[in-house]
A = this chain, B = another copy of it.
C-alpha cells in the first residue's frame, strides 16, 4: 500500500534474472535440494526475503500434481463434535504445510456428491469426510480413490467395506456403558431414543444398548424405543407419548445430547424429578450438557483424539507411507468414556 503499484511479476524468472541465475537454481533453493552451493543458496534466500517473493502454488501444483491442500466434508461444522475435530485437524495439517478446504454438506446427499466432485476438481491431496445421515452408497467418492486421492471417513462412515481409512468413536461401547450405567443404578424401565438406523453411529450405539440389556436379562419394550431424527421437537413428542400412560420409564437413554437436553427440559416443565423419577443419559458431551441443571451424564467421544488420529493417518497417506495395497483397512476405533453427572 505504501509503494506505488509495482509491475513486479513475482515469479521465479524475475528472481533468476535479478540474480543472474537460472530459474532451476532458484527452484532448487526454494525446495531445499541438496546440490546447491551455500553461497548461492544464501544469496537467493536473502533476495527472496527482501522482495517477499512467495511461490505460486498453482504453478508448482500443476507441475508436481500436488496442491498441499486437504479437503474436508462435514454435515455441519456447527455440530459440537465436528467443530472440535476440525479444529484439531486444521492445526495439525497446517503444521505440516497443508491447507484445509472445509465444506458442509448440510446433511444433503446431493450436496455431498457435489462437494466430492469439487474437491476433485481442486485436486486436493486427500479428502476427509463425515457423511450425511442418508449416505448409504459411497460411490461418489470413487472419483477420488480412482485417481489415487486418499479418502478418510470419520464419525459417519461407510457400513460396507470401502477403499478408505475409517476412524470412529467406539459407539458400540458407548451405548453399552451408558445402558450398563443405568442398569447398575437399578433402572428397570429404560427407554431408548435413537437416531435412524441407516447410520452406523446409531446402529452401533443401539447394539451396545441391546447387548447391555441382554446381559442383564432385561426385555426391550418396542414402544419404548424410538428411531427418529434427533431433534428437540421429536424428543418432546417421544416424551409426551412415554408419559401419556403408566407404566412410565424410569430412565431415558438418548443417542445424542441435543435429545437428552430436550428430554430434561420437558421433564422439568411437567414436573418429573431428575434423577429421582427419571434418570437421563446423553451422548457426546455437548458443552450444554455440563451446564444445564441438573447436569447430564453423557458419553465423551474425545473429538480432539479423533482429530489427532485423522491427522496422523492422513499424513501417512500424504507421505505415501500407506500404499494402495491395503484396500479395505480395518476401522480405527477411538475409545469413549462415561461422564457421570447429576442426571443419574
Contact = CB atoms under 8 A, between A and B. Distances in A.
Contact of A84 (B1, B52, B78, B292): B78
Contacts of A101: 69, 99-102
Chain copies in complex: 2
A52 B94 CA distance: 31
B87 A77 contact: yes
25 contacts: A54-B117, A54-B120, A54-B121, A56-B62, A58-B58, A58-B67, A62-B62, A69-B101, A69-B122, A77-B77, A77-B86, A77-B87, A77-B90, A83-B83, A87-B104, A90-B104, A94-B104, A94-B115, A99-B103, A100-B101, A100-B103, A287-B288, A291-B291, A292-B292, A293-B293
Contacts of A305: none
Contacts of A121: 54-57
Interface stretch (A142-150, A183-191, A236-244): A142-150
Nearest to A327: B1
A269 to B, nearest CB: 13
A10 interface: yes
A99 B56 CA distance: 18
A266 to B, nearest CB: 13
Nearest to A286: B287
Given A77-B83, A90-B103, A101-B69, A123 B291 contact: no
A91 interface: yes
A261 interface: yes
Interface in A30-84: 52, 54-59, 61-62, 67, 69, 76-78, 83-84
A103 B58 CA distance: 19
A118 interface: yes
A145 B288 contact: no
B1 A54 contact: no
Nearest to A65: B58
A118 B99 contact: yes
A163 interface: yes
Nearest to A62: B58
Interface string A108-137: 000000010110111100000000000000
A86 B87 CA distance: 13
Given A69-B122, A99-B122, A101-B101, 11 more contacts: A1-B142, A1-B163, A2-B142, A54-B121, A59-B62, A62-B62, A69-B101, A94-B103, A100-B101, A101-B102, A288-B291
A13 interface: no
A96 to B, nearest CB: 12
A147 B53 CA distance: 12
Contact of A1 (B87, B146, B288, B292): B146
Which interface residue of A115, A147, A287 has the most chain B CB atoms within 10 A? A287
